[in-house]
Amino acid sequence: MAVCPNFGDRRGGACPSLVVIHYTAMADCDAARAWLCNPKAEVSAHYLVSEAGKVDALVPEEKRAWHAGAGAWGAITDVNSHSIGIELSNTGSAPFAAAQMNALEALLSGIMARWSIPPQRVIGHSDCAPGRKIDPGPRFDWARLARSGLAVQAAPVPGTRNDAAAFLRDLHRIGYSAGVPGETLLAAFRLRHRQGATGPLRSADCALAADLAQRFGVDPGAPSP
């Protein structure tokens, strides 16, 4: 394990119940590793995956890495205490290499088995920090992870109408923050579930959100798992 000083204890006795995927937005993996392990940076992640598929373990899984910052998912407001963070070396504009995705799938499989994390709780940084972060971005292959049972993919509910209020209710039930403007949540949702879509809310967005809410939604006021 690389020497990374940027971590602490998980607060309140929390255990990981989420996985948050990021991209580094840096020139290369060496630069990202140096930054994540720099005490002055005050950021870190549990794992860093290079373009070639090399996995560096930077912070022990039982510890709290500093990767998510301000944000929330469902009732969880301290995402760092409840998650494992994975950084993928990528500038944010490049496709993710096959070797990197292969390594990510193997890494995710082990993490999810060790901590009993279901696929619907593998999220992007953009999901828990909408409007502030966009990683892992529009080029990340969420569908591939879903095919391997390592994430979820929405299937549209037939006959769903374009209803902004229902759309926001469904997003809040899925886990998206209720304290963020609707257009910001729409953009974050599309980054994950309708990549490339633009413009105002459509019935296609509502149909996908309805499916996820029906299958995985919870009462927004319920205690966090």
Write the pLDDT tens digit of every residue in 39-75. Answer: 999 999 999 999 999 999 999 999 999 999 999 999 9
Q: Which long-range contacts (CB under 8 A, 24 or more apart) does 75-79 make?
A: 75/220, 75/221, 75/222, 75/223, 75/224, 76/17, 76/18, 76/224, 78/11, 78/12, 78/14, 79/18, 79/20, 79/128
Least confident of 14-23, 116-125, 128-137, 214-223: 214-223
Q: Tell me, yes or no, whether 223 lies in a domain.
A: no
Q: Are residues 140 and 173 in the same domain?
A: no
Same domain, yes or no, for 69 and 111? yes
pLDDT by residue (tens digit) across 194-210?
999 999 999 999 999 99
Number of domains in the chain: 2
Confidence band, pLDDT 50/70/90 cuts, at residue 161: very high
Per-residue model confidence (pLDDT) at position 179: 87
- pLDDT band at 2; cut points 50, 70, 90: low
Asked if residue 82 has pLDDT above 80, the reply is yes
Determine, yes or no, domain membership for 142. yes
The residues near 126 (Cβ < 8 Å, ≥ 6 apart) are 133, 134, 135, 136, 137, 188, 191, 192
The residues assigned a catalytic role are 87
Q: Do 88 and 37 share a structural domain?
A: yes
pLDDT score of 225: 41
115 located within any domain: yes
Its pTM stands at 0.95
